Structure 1
Amino acid sequence: MEIAVDAVVVEKRGAVALVRLNQPETMNAISPDIKAGLTAHIPALTADPAVRCLVITGTGNAFCAGGDLRNMTDRRAPSVFARMQQSYAWVEHLVTGKTPVIAAVNGAAAGAGFSLAMLCDLVLVSEEASFRAGFPNIGAAPDLGLAFTLPRFIGMQRARELLLTNRRVTAAEAVTLGLALRSVPPASLLDEAMAMAEQIAAGPALSLGLTKMLLNEAIGPTFPAFLEKEAMAQAIAFGGDEFAEGVKAFLEKRKPNFTAI
């Protein structure tokens, strides 16, 4: 049953809900429409007892290219902080909700797209997928919880390297590092993710939800408290000259020159 053909498409297949970012022309960058779709769908799906597992993927050749820089013109700290809080309305549900979530990373996952994949409990990748932090290239702080989730996937030392150097991680390396469980041929990715989701959905929902809760508690600090600090950090970063240079360089398709600031 397809709910909407929109920036975010949700399709329910039995007890599994497939959530697809659906703006391939922008590599599924998190535009206002995609953000609105996630805000509308994710809390409702994680609160629905009939939905026992979520699968998140992207339409086309990219998973998610990150934030849409064309819509970041208002960089005043209160505005940035408010936008971050709006995003957390769906972000927190993925992590702190009891519904297991699988990312089917079908292509590039950069910036907030990398963050989105790491918000999920399990990650499967296409052999054509890749990851890049992206934030250093525009003078921004990591957001959507990436500085919280990434060290918990791959350890602090490797997380620091990826967040500070901004280097690209291939699908094969993602598996080696622990970013992903396994990589599969592109044509098989969704089938693999759905098969895993159906296996989880057939399990004891209460038990699995409690297990997810305990795993989250074991790795503290609490995610909502972390997000408050993250929002403040990003509000400061967006107001700086380095972010202005990073965005300008991105739009002009050149390398940013942070040392000249």
Structure 2
Amino acid sequence: MTDATTEASVLVRRDGAVATLVLNEPKSMNAMSGGIKAGIEETLPGLLADPEVRAVVITGTGRAFCAGGDIRSMDDRGTLSVKTRMTRTYRWLIPLLTADKPIVCAVNGAAAGAGLSLALTGDIILASREARFKAGFPGLGAAADLGLAYTLPRAVGYQRASDILLTNREVSAEEAHQMGLVARLAEPEALMAAAMETAQALAAGPTVSLGLTKRLMRRAYELPIEGFLEFEAMAQVVAFGSDDFGEGVAAFRGKRRPDFKGR
């Protein structure tokens, strides 16, 4: 496993086909400072574009996953400044939300505001039993951002999302798991091992078909059934034409474990 300097605001670790992106400003509970935003913008698109990376893990250092926006960056409230900051964030958020690669978020502690938004970018969200979740935005008089009003209702349903986003109440890890916000829980000391095991299994899988399945799930909210089934048929054409599908069929017939290459 390789690791960047521990002084960086965002660390990138590589373990085979899995890349781990770590928010690394624990003193501020990994709030979205300029350094963290710049670090994500500089590293994440490259990881998503790298053919050698077949799964990505996102987590934080210390006692928080991400405590939300950095209050120090909110003094400039001008229309153009806010719009510019949001547009810059979308440079990495849109590729993350639309990535074909599996994304695993390991929520090691507090995930509030933009931190909750970041957690919801995960295809599979694992959380420490000590994690907690909060919208944060109502406490400041801000609108939910980083796609949270898009991703949260899809994860937990409209009523539960409204309860979280409008009342600003804190949600425990156990409740988050029960409502479907979190896929799995782990003891704090076992979280990263569980996240890496999940990511390694995904990275070893048929990532062509996994990416197609992710696209199908996204389009399921947008298309009428006829349009969706047309898209589904085209996705299956692509999947059947992949080397991974050929390997999967051969492995099934040979009664052996498939060796998928992601192509």
TM-score band by shorter chain is: 0.7 to 0.9
After superposing the two structures, state which structure 1 stretch, 133-142 or 86-95, moved more: 86-95
1:9 CA displacement = 0.1
What is the Cα-based RMSD across aligned positions, in Å? 1.0
1:78 CA displacement = 1.2
| Residue from 139, 142, 165 that aligns with 1:140 | 142
Decide whether the 8 Å contact of 1:127 with 1:172 is kept in 2: yes
Distance, in Å, in 2 between the alignment partners of 1:71 and 1:119 is: 23
Relative to the length of structure 2, the TM-score reads: 0.83
Decide whether the 8 Å contact of 1:4 with 1:10 is kept in 2: no
Distance, in Å, in 2 between the alignment partners of 1:219 and 1:85 is: 24
1:36 is aligned to 38
> Is residue 102 from structure 1 mapped to residue 104 from structure 2 by the alignment?
yes
Deviations 1:105-151 (A, max 9, x none): 00000000000000111100001000000000000000000000000
Q: Which amino acid aligns with 2:207?
A: A
> Is residue 169 from structure 1 mapped to residue 171 from structure 2 by the alignment?
yes
More relative contact order, 1 or 2 (CA 8 Å, 6+ apart): 1
Q: Which amino acid aligns with 1:185?
A: E
1:85 CA displacement = 0.5
1:207 CA displacement = 1.1
Q: Which amino acid aligns with 2:125?
A: V
| Residue from 84, 87, 102 that aligns with 1:85 | 87
| Residue from 200, 203, 210 that aligns with 1:201 | 203
Distance, in Å, in 2 between the alignment partners of 1:116 and 1:4 is: 23
| Residue from 27, 30, 33 that aligns with 2:29 | 27
Deviations 1:209-236 (A, max 9, x none): 1111111111238xxxxxxxxxxxxxxx
Q: Which amino acid aligns with 2:102?
A: P
1:259 is aligned to none
Q: Which amino acid aligns with 2:145?
A: D
1:153 CA displacement = 0.3
1:147-158 to 2 correspondences below 5 Å: 147-158=149-160
Structure 1: where are the runs of 5+ without partners?
A: 222-261
Question: Could you say what secondary structure the match of 1:109 adopts?
Answer: strand
Q: What stretches of structure 1 move > 6 A for 4+ residues in a row? A: none
1:105-116 to 2 correspondences below 5 Å: 105-116=107-118
1:184-195 to 2 correspondences below 5 Å: 184-195=186-197
1:241 is aligned to none
Distance, in Å, in 2 between the alignment partners of 1:88 and 1:220 is: 20
2:68 is aligned to 66
Distance, in Å, in 1 between the alignment partners of 2:34 and 2:23 is: 12
Distance, in Å, in 2 between the alignment partners of 1:205 and 1:140 is: 38
What number of residue pairs does the alignment pair up? Answer: 221
Structure 2: where are the runs of 5+ without partners?
A: 224-263
Which of the two has higher C-alpha Rg?
2
Distance, in Å, in 2 between the alignment partners of 1:98 and 1:180 is: 20
Question: Could you say what secondary structure the match of 1:149 adopts?
Answer: helix
1:204 CA displacement = 1.0
Q: Which amino acid aligns with 2:55?
A: C
Deviations 1:69-98 (A, max 9, x none): 111111111110110010011111111111
1:235 is aligned to none
Distance, in Å, in 2 between the alignment partners of 1:45 and 1:182 is: 25
Question: Could you say what secondary structure the match of 2:190 adopts?
Answer: helix
1:3 CA displacement = 3.3
2:59 is aligned to 57
**Equivalent pairs: percent with the same residue?**
53
1:119 is aligned to 121
1:228 is aligned to none
1:2 is aligned to 3
Question: Could you say what secondary structure the match of 1:28 adopts?
Answer: coil
1:231-250 to 2 correspondences below 5 Å: none
Relative to the length of structure 1, the TM-score reads: 0.83
2:249 is aligned to none
2:212 is aligned to 210
Distance, in Å, in 2 between the alignment partners of 1:126 and 1:172 is: 9
